[in-house]
A = this chain, B = another copy of it.
Amino acid sequence: MTSFTRSALNRVRRLQERGHYDKATIYPIIDEALICHVALVQDGQPFVIPTIHARMGDELILHGANASRLLQHIERGEPVCVGITLLDGLVLARSVFHSSMNYRSVVLFGRGRVVSEPAAKLAALEALSEHLAQGRWQDARKPTARELKATKVVAIAIDSASAKVRSGPPGDDEADYDLPIWAGVVPLDLRAEPPEPDPRLPDGTAVPAYAAHYVRR
């Protein structure tokens, strides 16, 4: 399956021309984002929780403490909805009405399972670590048995998803193009700045490339 079926869950209703249902559009957005926002329902009340994630195939990996309310909720098999948004720019149209943002967003739906088998759990933690900083897993001290036991990992099957994407210049009303108003896009990018070494690091400790010249996936 290379695309998700359109359904009441994932159909993009507003500005349908911005909607995408193919994994070739959806998965790179998930992979580029550093965090996601997970929505869940408890006693009819919506909650949203930001957390880091990684994608392994058609599953979204989350992790946290054993006592995490979010992870316990997912462990019980409850449905979640995950929102992931990359901001690409401010779209300053001549009119306020047509002003907008350039963005790439994904909303996905699914239910999760706990990943408890040790090798699979370690692989999931490696995916989370590599998602944030490619190469770090090899350098860092790996989890101990005690740390693994204190950590819960869940895998959410991505049952349904869609992306919404806006790019390019403003789209003004034809009559407004004659107005003497500057219009265009202010590009936005989440960028890394030079790394700040830990104050307790011995002088001369080599800075790894993924920290010195950090590149998001």
Residue numbers of A with Cβ under 8 A of B are 9, 13-14, 34-35, 37-41, 44-50, 52, 64-65, 67-69, 79-83, 85, 87, 89-90, 92-97, 99, 101, 103, 105, 107, 109, 125, 129, 132-133, 136-137, 139-144, 147, 151, 169-170, 172, 176-177, 179-201, 205-208, 211, 214
Contact B107 A49 (CB under 8 A): yes
Question: With the chains together, A90 CA to B65 CA distance in Å?
Answer: 19
Question: With the chains together, A208 CA to B71 CA distance in Å?
Answer: 47
Neighbour of A187 across the interface among B92, B103, B109, B196, CB < 8 A: B196
Contact A191 B192 (CB under 8 A): no
Question: With the chains together, A96 CA to B82 CA distance in Å?
Answer: 24
Contact A177 B189 (CB under 8 A): no
Contact B184 A201 (CB under 8 A): yes
Neighbour of A129 across the interface among B65, B96, B132, B193, CB < 8 A: B96
20 intermolecular pairs with C-beta atoms under 8 Å apart:
A34-B90, A37-B39, A39-B81, A44-B44, A46-B79, A93-B140, A94-B140, A97-B143, A99-B132, A101-B132, A180-B205, A182-B197, A183-B201, A184-B195, A184-B201, A184-B207, A186-B214, A187-B195, A188-B193, A189-B193
Contact B48 A48 (CB under 8 A): yes
Asked if A82 meets B186 with Cβ closer than 8 Å, knowing A133-B92, A140-B95, A140-B96, the reply is no
A85 proximity list for chain B (CB < 8 A): 35, 37, 50
For residue A9, which residue of chain B has the nearest CB? Answer: B45
For residue A139, which residue of chain B has the nearest CB? Answer: B181
For residue A164, which residue of chain B has the nearest CB? Answer: B50
A177 proximity list for chain B (CB < 8 A): 200
For residue A202, which residue of chain B has the nearest CB? Answer: B180
